[in-house]
Amino acid sequence: MVEMVCSEASGRADLARLAALLAELDERNLDNVTRTESYLELYALTRAHPPDLPWLLMAHLVSRNAGSLMTEVAVILDRGDGAIAPFALRELFLFLERANHLIFYDAWYHVLHHLLGRSAELRPGRCSRFVREAWARHEQARRAGQPHPALERALVRDLVTNEQNLIERRVVHHRRFPIARALVALAEALGQEAPVVLPCTHASIQVGGFAILERRIAAGMSIFDAMADRATRDAMYAWARRHPHDGSRSLFDGAHGAHGAHGAHGARGPARPRLRDAWPAHAVRALWDGIHAPPEPDPGWP
């Protein structure tokens, strides 16, 4: 009886913690640093209360890469060598920040509803029909005892499909970002596309056509496949806990390989600025007052 009471009290505390995290959505969506660390914190909670949700660790690592790219844009801007106009570089940063913001705005909300057992409360207008149905499928399959690896991969595919459709017309092909799209396409054409670097692996994943929805989804599944093995996932998680995110790509130096041996980036390079020094939140909002606005309605992804 004592064990049952303690278990119930612990369960109530866990639910209260999850409800508090849901209420902190706006605070945690301040910038790339808060988002990236929030994904990791929530993944840690799912590890403590299995089954874990590997999409959260994926989101942490992809967001970490996005933050590093934002910082690299600031380095080029600060260098001022005239190769790319400052206005164009700021547009590229806003492009990255807007996508990062919208994905978190959506995902933090629906993932926490799932963890709270409130998926049925997800409503049209706040989450897409696709992701509401995805959670219903996942939860029904869990109750039916579907094999866990297949269930896990199906959920990841659904969440990746949702997030990439979420930004497809709101960011990637939005009328606000023709210059940013052109810069991304130019980098791809010149073979300068920044890969998604995954610690504790030798994976270096490129989309190979960011403007193409299907390629972004395929890249997301490649990321999952690189971390599907439980030992690899555990190593990635341990690495992420040891290296708090600050936006500097230099953190990735030496992050490859099961034991952190130097990989594709070679020896540790010169230090890069922290993201918050390069792009303070108040300065970002001054660049565009719509940068952190809620998502516009999208008839193509209702």
pLDDT in tens, 287-296: 999 999 999 9
9: confidence class by pLDDT, cuts 50, 70, 90:
very low
**pLDDT tens digits, one per residue of 253-272:** 656 654 443 333 333 445 67
**pLDDT tens digits, one per residue of 123-172:** 999 999 999 999 999 999 999 998 889 999 999 999 999 999 999 999 99
> What is the average pLDDT value for the chain, to the nearest integer?
91
User: Is the pLDDT reported for residue 228 higher than 60?
Assistant: yes
- Give me the residues paired with residue 204 across strands: 197
**DSSP structure string for 49-102:** SSSP-HHHHHHHHHHHHHHHHHHHHHHHHHH--SSS-HHHHHHHHHHHHHHHHH
10: confidence class by pLDDT, cuts 50, 70, 90:
low
Distances (CA, A) of 215 to 130, 161, 193, 206, 210: 19, 11, 14, 9, 7
- Give me the residues paired with residue 127 across strands: 124
In 3D, which of 237, 156, 249, 254 has the Cα closest to residue 202?
Answer: 254
Write b or e for each residue in 136-175: b if 16 or more Cβ atoms lie within 10 A of its Cβ, otherwise e.
eebeebeeeeeeeeebbeebbbbbbbbbbbbbbbbbbebe
User: Is the pLDDT reported for residue 45 higher than 60?
Assistant: yes
Contact between 226 and 202 under an 8 Å Cβ cutoff? The reply is no
Q: Among 118-132, 221-235, 263-277, name the one with the lowest average pLDDT.
A: 263-277
Query: What is the predicted pLDDT for the residue at 250?
Result: 74
Beta strands in the chain (DSSP E): 196-197, 204-205
Share of the chain above pLDDT 70, in %: 90
Average the pLDDT over 205-213 and give the result. Answer: 97
Query: What is the predicted pLDDT for the residue at 7?
Result: 45
11: confidence class by pLDDT, cuts 50, 70, 90:
confident
